Structure 1
């Protein structure tokens, strides 16, 4: 859902401050990523941050790679 580097930066910044919010902005409310991030944040703030940043950075790069190969 992110349209550029500015949105990605904002999502990562929000993921550090409040992890579920950054994931919510990227994936939406009822996604599995959001539910896992919310659960990890309730159980411990640091695991929530780590998971949120991982999901925003790693899954986004996987999707960009997949889109590139679909176009080729």
Structure 2
């Protein structure tokens, strides 16, 4: 995992997921988790991008 990915995982989780996996189901899940509560979005981004 690159430094850019780690920073994006923390600041903008949906963008980090979209960069790694494209716009799809994983992105939508990350977006919803981030909108509902930021911490679950960050955790999901780290799990998906690891």
For 1:60, the equivalent position in structure 2 comes to none
Aligned length: 50
Matched, 1:9 2:9: no
1:55 corresponds in structure 2 to 48
Task: Give the gaps of 5 or more residues in structure 2.
Answer: none
Match of 2:17 in 1: 23
TM-score, normalized by length of structure 1?
0.63
**Which consecutive residues of structure 1, in runs of 5 or more, have no partner in the other structure?**
58-72
Superposition TM-score, scaled by structure 2 size: 0.88
2:39 aligned residue: 46
CA RMSD of aligned residues (A): 1.2
* Distance across 1 between alignment mates of 2:26 and 2:5: 14
